[in-house]
Each structure stands twice: as C-alpha cells, then as structure tokens.
Amino acid sequence: MSTHIDNNAKFAKTVLMPGDPLRAKYIAENYLVDYKLVTSVRGILGYTGKTKDGKEISVMASGMGVPSIGIYSYELFNEYGVENIIRIGTCGSYQKEVHVGDVIITTSASSNSNYARQFDLKGGVLAPCSDFSLILKAYENSKKLGLNVHVGPIFSSDIFYDEDKEYYKKWQRLGILGVEMESYGLFINAMKLHKKALCILTVSDTFASDERELTQLERQTSLENMFKLALTMAE
C-alpha cells in the first residue's frame, strides 16, 4: 500500500491540492461540510468531505516542488482511485497584463525539471498539458462566478533562488504567463496514469513590472476567488 499517505484514507474522485498543509486545513474548515482528516503522514494533511452543495471532494497538500507533488499525486491516482487532481497554488507573473491578484487556469507546464527522464524519450521532449475537459469546466465556471481569468502556459521551475537572475526572461519572451514549481510533475503523472489534472493559480508576485504587493486583505480575496473556483470542480 501507499508509502506516504495513510493506508486507511478514503478520497473523493476529485482532489484539490494546495502546496501548504495549512491551506488544505483552511479550505476544509471554511468551505467543506461533513469533512474528516484522512491523512497526516509527514504533516501532509488531507481531508475528505462535501462541498456546501453536497458534492464529494477531498483536499490534500502536495508540499513544494515537482518531486513532492510527484510522490503524492502518483499515490492518489494509483492507489486511492482518484481521477482528477486540481492543483491550487500561487505563482509569479512573467507578463505585464497578468497582474498580482489575478487568477490563471493553466493549459500546459514547461520546466527545467528532469522528471520526464524516466520515459527515456531518446532526445524527444514531452509537452505536459492540463486535461481539456477540466480546463473548459474551470473556464466556464469562472465566467459564472464573474471572475476574469487568464488561460495559458506556465513554467514549473526547479529553482526558486536562481543564480541567474535574468533566466526568467527566456520564458517571458516565449509568452509563458507565470512561474510556480509543481504543475509539470502533476501533469506528467496524470498523462502516465491516464488520469486528469489541472492547475489554478493566484498571482502572488511579479517579474514583469514593479507592481506593489497585495495587502493582506487583497491577497486573501484573490486566494478566496481561486478556492471558490476550484470547489466548483467537484463532481
């Protein structure tokens, strides 16, 4: 059985995955009903419950980085019957029109990670994508919620404190919307296991302009927009 998740845990078909365990706890406590803590191995908290409109949903943390989400998403898909994983996180913007506080629905994740090396593609390069049905559903639901979202490609970096402070410009020139550190691993696992994945991001900082940081209240509101959208993905 699973090495990193409680063997008795039960998960809904759809799991929301923030990076931070305390964010998983916050979502369970503030948005779910009839919820239960189902796993806490290594402090990676996971909850299963229902949305306020009665749909089953789980929320479990991924930790930070491709290796961490690679482990947890693999076990959820492979050993707990999970069909859809929707990462919810923050990112840095690479484009002027993507403002701090905005929400991004991802279409694909480029990366400098080695995660796809496991497939020995003989120099070929995999293009890890979000599932189209999840992209469409999230986009349609964002309109119903009156949210103005960006839909497009992101970069999953293996490095937060990069030695080369200009490196991001290469991805910026290619039209990448922003940077985070997990989606590439999640999308590859979904492709490998024939499951579905998506990432919804709130922009927490920017490389593209000297926009001020959000106040605590603005930051909370933009995170709440992302949580509300993510919860509409329950089936």
C-alpha torsion sign, points 215, 217, 218, 224: positive
Shortest distance (Å) from residue 93 CB to ligand HPA: 9
The stretch among 9-17, 37-45, 90-98, 137-145 that binds ligand HPA (CB under 6 A) is 90-98
CB atoms within 10 A of CB 41: 15
Between 102 and 180, whose beta carbon lies closer to ligand HPA? 180
User: What is the Cα–Cα distance from 61 to 89, expressed in whole angstroms?
Assistant: 10
Is 131 one of the catalytic residues? no
Residue whose beta carbon is closest to ligand HPA = 92
Which of 58, 73, 84, 90: binder of ligand HPA (CB under 6 A)? Answer: 90
Q: How far is CA 119 from CA 116, 158, 181, in A?
A: 6, 19, 21
Shortest distance (Å) from residue 204 CB to ligand HPA: 5
H-helix or E-strand spanning residue 16: strand 14-17
Shortest distance (Å) from residue 168 CB to ligand HPA: 8
Which of 92, 101, 128, 153: binder of ligand HPA (CB under 6 A)? Answer: 92
Which of 14, 48, 157, 183: binder of ligand HPA (CB under 6 A)? Answer: 157
Q: Reduce the DSSP state of residue 74 to 3 states and report it.
A: helix
The stretch among 65-73, 86-94, 105-113, 114-122 that binds ligand HPA (CB under 6 A) is 86-94
Binding mask 168-197 for ligand HPA (x = CB under 6 A): -----------xxx----------------
Q: What is the chain's percent helix, strand, coil content, to nearest 5?
A: 35, 25, 40
Binding mask 202-221 for ligand HPA (x = CB under 6 A): --xx----------------
Count of residues binding ligand HPA (CB under 6 A)? 10
User: What is the Cα–Cα distance from 44 to 68, expressed in whole angstroms?
Assistant: 10
Does residue 160 belong to the site contacting ligand HPA (CB under 6 A)? yes
Q: Reduce the DSSP state of residue 59 to 3 states and report it.
A: strand
Between 224 and 235, whose beta carbon lies closer to ligand HPA? 224
Shortest distance (Å) from residue 62 CB to ligand HPA: 13
| Contacts of residue 104, Cβ cutoff 8 Å, sequence gap at least 6 | 91, 98, 149, 150, 151, 152, 154, 177, 178, 200, 201, 202, 203
Amino acid at 39: T
Binding site for ligand HPA (CB under 6 A): 90-92, 157, 160, 179-181, 204-205
